[in-house]
Each structure stands twice: as C-alpha cells, then as structure tokens.
Structure 1
Amino acid sequence: MDTKRLSYFVKIIDKGSLTRAADALNIAQPALSQHLISLEAHFKQQLVVRSRHGVTMTEAGKALYRHAQIVLKQMDLMSSDVSEAAKVLSGSVSVGLAPYSTTSTLSLSLLKEIKRQYPEIMLHVNDNFGSVFSELVMNGRMDLALIYDPGMMRGVNFQQVAVEELFLISRRSAALPSDVKEAVPLTSLENVPLLLPSRIHLLRSLVDTAFETSHVVPKIVAEIDSMETLGAAISEGIGSTILPWSAASRMTDFKQLILRPIKDPAIEATISVCVSDNIPLSEPAMAVHDVLFRLVRELIASNQWPGVRPPQ
C-alpha cells in the first residue's frame, strides 16, 4: 500500500471532487482518477460514488478515510520523532479543554508552563463550543483533550483526573434561598426558569438525567452555548443555570451571583484526559500531557475551586 495513494484519497474526500483535489495536488485529474481506481482494486470495494456534483463516500470509503487519517498522522509523527530525537522538544501540539468546566480555566496556565519548559513547542488550545473533542482526538486531528468523561467510547481512551460538582447559579435578587451554603433539593427547581447548555454538551445530559431520575420536568427557558451571553442573561434575571463553580467565576457579575449545591441527587461530572487508542502521542504531545496532569493535580490541591475533587 502506497501512503501517497492514501493521501490522495483523503484529499479527494476533503475537497469533495476529483477536479478540486487534482488542482490542490497539482496533478492531472486522469492520473488522480487512476490512483483512486487502483485503491478500489486493492480493497475490492467501491470507495466513492461519483456524480456531477462531486464524490460521496460509500461505507467502505468512510472506513478507509478514517484509517487513512490515522496512518498518515502516524507517518507524520514518525518522521517528526525521528528528526527531532536528538533535538530540543519541538513541534505542534493541539489540546482541547472542555468549555464550562474547571479545565477551561487552565488555558492560560498551560500556555505559560509550556512556554517556560518547552519554548519550541507550538501549542494550539481549543476551549470553544462547536467541536466534539473526542471525535477530533479519535480522527487524529487533535492530540489530546481534557473533557467530561462520556464513558466507554471506541477509538479513544479516558484517564480520569477529577470530579466536578454542579451548582445552581442565580443572581442574588432571584426568589430563592439566599444562603450560599444551603443545598437545594433538585425537586425544588421544578418551577425555576433555567438557562442550560444545548443537548450536544455532556453537562446538559447529566442535568437532564438527574431531573428524569427525580421525576421532575425542568422549566428550561433557553439553551445558551456562550459564557458571555449566559452570564448576561442571569444578570438580567432571565433565569438560573446549573454549572460548575468555575463557570460562574468567569462571569462578569460573579460577585452578584449566588451558588448553591444541589442535593437529592447531587450532580457530578467526571473530567478525563482523552487520547487516541490508535495513535501514540508524540514526544511533544506527551510532554504537554504530563504538564496538564500536573496542573490539574495542583488545581485540586489548592482548593481554588469549590466542588472539585480527585476521582475515587
């Protein structure tokens, strides 16, 4: 198997047509078409369906595309590791940090520590909504991610590092008990207007499951995937939310908010480092992985964020 043909196949899929892929690769379209035919002959499978609009992957094509990305990523890592073996650690490392979590507060600390210890590593940090970090890690497009643990998932491995408690977050004028230490039974929130992350977020799944277990139908008035908008909406009295303490601490009017633990049941989320099962971490990525683990341990030990503890 020629890895060049795999790279050509990936480019065809990424560009959506043979014509655009040939232009990008600066080769003749008939030659590129012949490489595709050779791949299909090798696997004895049709890999794409051609039309005047471009190409569409078959199921076999989807499987090859997924594995080709892993193989090509591994080839790049091999070349990089061999070239850099005798040099100072350098290269690009991409890290995802779950939004709305304590982990997203580590962005600046991670950047500073990597710059101090490994100035030749180019760190790419993503702590925004809109991407499923576990899928990016699985496909080799992200080296590692610190995210809420969704449980067993094929293609990736989760290493638990912390457990984070969720709180009811409201503005002080909200018609709720004012004692910040007073735990709020989940059943008492049935008529409280709630502003929650959208359903693609694991935190939302945990909240929904807790309400369902308690046989309570929550009053959800809006779904918000922006920290700035969420904080402003709470400040305006539109509703309350259920998130970790760290999420509230990043809101502009944090001092005007009241955070209450939730009980019966408490809602907790496990934070894990997500790495690929198929693609070993490069030396630079392993260095970033180790720094990230240390920063999490230091964060827990400092008691900086209420409701965060080590996993059992």
Structure 2
Amino acid sequence: MDQRKIKFFFSVIEHGNLSSAAQALRVSQPTLSRQIQAIEEEFQTPLFVRGSRGMLLTEAGKQLQEGLQSIERQLRLLKGDVAAVTLEPAGEVAFGIPPSPRGLIAIPLIKKFNAAYPRIVVRIVEETSGQLRDLVANGLLDVAITNSSEPTHGIGAQQLGRERMMLIGPASEKLSIRKATPLKALAGLPLILTMRPNSLRLTIENGMGLHGLQPNIRFEANTLPLMTDLVIGGLGYTVLPMCGVRSLLKQGLVSASPIADLSITWLVARPKARTLGVAAERFHEMLCEFGRKLVRDGVWQDTAP
C-alpha cells in the first residue's frame, strides 16, 4: 500500500462507484479498477461488493478502512511534528469531551490553547465517556476526558479531579445545594437516567446496589439536554455531575442537591500504544493544568487520598 492506493481506496468509498471516483481522481476508470484489484490481491480478500447499488465495503474492507484512517492521520501528525522542530507548533490535535463537563471546560480551554498555539487545529468530538475511551485506544483521538468508571485498557489515564453527583429536580422542588440528599432517598423518586452501559448510569446503580436498592427508572434518554428538558418539564429527577447543570442552575431552570457518598472522578485519557505528537502533547499539558486549577479554585476536589 502506498499513499496513491490509499487515496484511490477512500475515493471509491466516498463516491460508491468507480466512474464517479475515477472522475474525481482524474484517472481513467480502467486504471482505478486495476488499482482496487491490486489492493484486493495484496490483502488476498475482496474489499468491495459490486452490485446494483454501487460498490459497498465488505467486512474486510471496513477493517482496512478503519486501519487506514488511523495511519493516514498519523502521517499528517508526523508532518506537523517535523515542522514543529524549527517552527511554532502546528498540526492538529483531536480532543474528546463528554457532554457533562463540556460547558465547564471546552470553551475556556480551547480559547486559551488557541491563543497560545494559533497554528494548531483542534478537532473536537463530543461523545459518552465509553465511546471516547475507545476512540483514544483506537488512535482516532489524541486526548479525551473520561471517568474512573470506564475501563482503562488501551489508554493511559491521569486523574483530573473529583466532584459530587447531584440530584437534579424541577425548580419548583427547591432542592438545596447546601443540604445533601441521602443515596437511599433516590429509590423513592421517579428517575430519568441515561441508557446502559453509560458510566453515569452504572455509577448510580452501583451506588444504590451497595444499599440493596434499585433506581426507579421512569424514562431513559441518550443525551444530557433531553434528560434535563424532561426534568424541567416536571417528569422526574435525574442524577448528573455538577458541571453538567451549572448553567441551568444559574438560570433557575432546575434545582439541585448533592447526593451523599456519590461522586465521579474525571480522568484525562491518552493512547497507551503510541506517543503523542507535539501538538497533542501541548494540549494534554494544558488540559491537566486546567484540571489542577479547577481543584485549586474549589470547583473540583483533589483526587489524592
């Protein structure tokens, strides 16, 4: 495989047929067909299914696509690292963040990083902690925020800080930030939670399980805004980290109470199998310092015993 073949392979995937791909590449269709055939011979397996709907990837083709995406990205990162030896750091960093800490971290962190390194492009992905962990392990993200409830295989993880989990209810319930809610009290409330195996859901279930209790789940939702909208609509309560509802509390749209003996520890994840490029290393350093500042400011708690 060389870069020319990789380009041809991805063009056929994008266009779904040889004629359109050949036109976009400015080569003849027979030339492109021979190149695709050569790739299939090299891997000794069909990579495409030819049919009336065009050319679709086989399972082997999908596996090759995933691997080449990672390789192609590493080549771009290497180019930026080589240039950074003598020039101001450039290139790109792929950063993943879950929905809950996005409002607290994303904008101030990206603003600070952009001011310090204006030639570095930051690609931001918002997904659940589990999905972000997998993307880091597979080499598609450089740095991501996850939490200690997620397995750490395939990644290196450093603790950022810990915060209390909050019972979130409608504003009319007048829950108090100054008064903790016993974990056992959750069993008697109609709850709106994320779907399994989301780590926030498992944190709640595991915490209640220690008391022999199960959550009374009335609604399941797969996004944080949908969960909080249901709460605002008076359909029940949810449980989220404080960072996920700070803006809603300021607006008076919800009320919240810390849950006794239930917290979440945020981590910063990086790949275990490869070193970070210059751009990603600088971003990792700034993110870790941002976490330490949140601890110093009392927003998060220190994770040290």
Structure 2 spans left out of the alignment, 5+ residues: none
Residue deviations 1:219-258 (CA, integer Å, cap 9, x gap): 2232344544444433343211111112221215448513
Shift of 1:166: 1.6
**Change over 3 Å in CA distance of 1:104–1:235 after alignment to 2:** closer
Residue deviations 1:280-303 (CA, integer Å, cap 9, x gap): 422112111110110011111211
Report what 1:296 is aligned to: 291
Report what 2:239 is aligned to: 242
Q: Which segment drifts farther, 269-278 or 121-130?
A: 121-130
Residue deviations 1:172-225 (CA, integer Å, cap 9, x gap): 64398x684334133x32231112233363212322344455443422232344
Correspondence 1:134-149 to 2 at 5 A: 134-149=133-148
The one-letter amino acid of 1:47's match is L
Determine helix, strand or coil for the equivalent of 1:87. Answer: coil
CA contact (8 A) 1:95 1:143 kept: yes
Q: Quote the Cα distance in structure 2 between the aligned partners of 1:163 and 1:16.
A: 47
Determine helix, strand or coil for the equivalent of 2:64. Answer: helix
Shift of 1:141: 4.0
Report what 1:257 is aligned to: 255
**Change over 3 Å in CA distance of 1:63–1:284 after alignment to 2:** same
| Alignment length (residue pairs) | 303
**Change over 3 Å in CA distance of 1:209–1:27 after alignment to 2:** farther
> Percent identity among equivalent residues?
26
Correspondence 1:126-275 to 2 at 5 A: 126-127=125-126, 132-149=131-148, 150-154=150-154, 156-171=155-170, 173-174=172-173, 180-186=178-184, 188-199=185-196, 201-212=198-209, 214-251=211-248, 253-254=251-252, 257-263=255-261, 266=262, 268-275=263-270
Report what 1:10 is aligned to: 10
Q: Which segment drifts farther, 26-35 or 283-292?
A: 26-35
Report what 1:107 is aligned to: 106
Q: Quote the Cα distance in structure 2 between the aligned partners of 1:60 and 1:133.
A: 24
CA contact (8 A) 1:70 1:278 kept: no
Q: Which segment drifts farther, 209-218 or 118-127?
A: 209-218
Q: Quote the Cα distance in structure 2 between the aligned partners of 1:54 and 1:214.
A: 57
**Change over 3 Å in CA distance of 1:132–1:49 after alignment to 2:** same
Structure 1 spans left out of the alignment, 5+ residues: none
Alignment root-mean-square deviation, CA:
3.1
**Change over 3 Å in CA distance of 1:273–1:13 after alignment to 2:** farther
**Change over 3 Å in CA distance of 1:180–1:37 after alignment to 2:** same
Report what 1:80 is aligned to: 80
